[in-house]
Amino acid sequence: MKRPLAMIVGTGHAVPKKILTNSDIAAMGIETTDEWIVERTGIRQRYVAGEGESLTSLSAEAARAAMKVAGVTAPELDIIVLGTASPDRLLPSTAVEVQAAIGATRAAAFDISAACSGWVYGMQIAEGLMALGGAETVLVLGAETLTRITNWKDRNTCVLFGDGAGATVVKRSTKGRGILSAYTRSDGTLADLLHRPAGGALRPVTPEVLADGSNCIAMAGREVFKNAVRSMADACDRALDGAKLAASDIDLLIPHQANIRIIEATAKHAGMPMEKVYVNVDRYGNTSAASIPIALDEALRAGRIKEGMTVMFVAFGAGFTWGSLVVRF
Ligand code: UT7
């Protein structure tokens, strides 16, 4: 495959109406403080899906915004790839519900399960399907309603997550623009460090599961932190090598937004000053698969990315999964 083959022609994002601040969480009776959350994570608030909002509705809103920028109509979409860890239903995929909601009548639609790396994985799937020749216009979504699978009694996790959707329209490359390099890896031996112990087919939901919250996200935070720093560093190195570029060639780094300390460690390893790193974890919390496409859409709309600039994306999440992309805009 000769790169660049696939380029980003439109982005959009959507978030729920309700904002939950750190103080709001403390006021819910959870033993935490705004100071602890800000100091240990950089998070100040997150969006929480409410009545009438769903992964489908947020994804469809983000998709419409991205298609508008791209000048693409829904029936032109060949593929819809949706990365998520919090689908509306376990069967069918949320991607097909988004297809129906936006009227993408010709598309093949499917979800992928790569947790926080979902959008980076999805972009590579889009590029691969385009290389095979069967797809010209692909919608890649990263979207989550994580607050619905959060254990609101567990202060180790409930302060971290937020909801939202980010969408990207991908088309065939022109003028040397598009994905210059891509890298993905997984390590399933560490699956139990960040998971939902029950609620799947192996351990279905029972009254006991609901009572102990084991259908919700459980995480060994410190271990995840260490692996995130190590793997995101690896992913930055590999993406730069693949694109035959140095960190100084990168105009903006958009890392997964889980924790400001992980973002700072990643930037330091990559040798990128924080002025060239996009950060919005303070306003969104960790939105898993949605975090990078939301940040990308914000950065484009704010004029932080201009034509000709080179952007590096790096993600890490449950699985573990990790990966990176270097993209010329
Ligand atoms: O999306 C990709 C996957 N997720 C991540 O990348 C997240 C990775 N992990 C992290 O970001 C961090 O590990 C956390 C933010 C989750 C935790 O920060 P930490 O500095 O690693 O804290 P810790 O887990 O080592 O806990 C330190 C202390 C503990 O108390 P003791 O045992 O020292 O008395 C915790 O019980 O902080 C306590 N603690 C809290 N205190 C107030 C844990 N959560 C809270 C809380 N409020 N919400």
Work out the end-to-end distance of the chain between its first and last CA atoms, rounded to an integer number of angstroms. Answer: 19
Percent of the chain with pLDDT over 70: 100
* Ligand 1 atom at minimum distance from 32 CA: 47
Tens digits of per-residue pLDDT, 10-69? 999 999 999 999 999 999 999 999 999 999 999 999 999 999 999 999 999 999 999 999
Q: What pLDDT sits at residue 134? A: 85
Q: Which domains does the chain have, with CATH numbers?
A: 6-175 (3.40.47.10), 180-328 (3.40.47.10)
Ligand 1 centroid–CA 222 distance in Å is 7
Mean pLDDT of 182-205: 98
User: Is 286 a pocket residue for ligand 1 (Cβ < 6 Å)?
Assistant: yes
Tens digits of per-residue pLDDT, 134-153? 899 999 999 999 999 999 99
Of 22, 215, 256, 259, the active-site residue reads 256
Residue 1 has pLDDT above 90, yes or no: no
For ligand 1, atom 25, name the residue with the nearest CA.
222
Q: What is the distance between the alpha carbons of residues 300 and 252, in angstroms, rounded to a whole number? A: 11
The answer to whether 139 and 158 have CB atoms below 8 angstroms apart is no
* Token pair in block for residue 241: 């090598």
Q: What is the distance between the alpha carbons of residues 147 and 275, in angstroms, rounded to a whole number? A: 30
Mean pLDDT of 245-272: 97
Of 22, 116, 195, 236, the active-site residue reads 116
Tens digits of per-residue pLDDT, 150-179? 999 999 999 999 999 999 999 999 999 999
Question: In sequence order, what are the residues at sequence separation of 6 or more whose Cβ sits closer than 8 angstroms to the Cβ of residue 192?
Answer: none
Q: What pLDDT sits at residue 67? A: 98
Residue 5 has pLDDT above 90, yes or no: yes
Ligand 1 centroid–CA 156 distance in Å is 6
User: Is 224 a pocket residue for ligand 1 (Cβ < 6 Å)?
Assistant: yes
Percent of the chain with pLDDT over 90: 99
286 is catalytic: yes
Tens digits of per-residue pLDDT, 214-244? 999 999 999 999 999 999 999 999 999 999 9
For ligand 1, atom 19, name the residue with the nearest CA.
222
Q: What pLDDT sits at residue 191? A: 98
Q: Which of 144, 156, 159, 288 to mutate to test the pocket of ligand 1 (most atoms within 8 A of CB)?
A: 156
User: Is 316 a pocket residue for ligand 1 (Cβ < 6 Å)?
Assistant: yes
Of 215, 227, 259, 286, the active-site residue reads 286
The answer to whether 295 and 257 have CB atoms below 8 angstroms apart is yes
Scan for tokens 């100040």, then name that residue.
44
Q: What is the distance between the alpha carbons of residues 44 and 207, in angstroms, rounded to a whole number? A: 34
Ligand 1 centroid–CA 317 distance in Å is 16
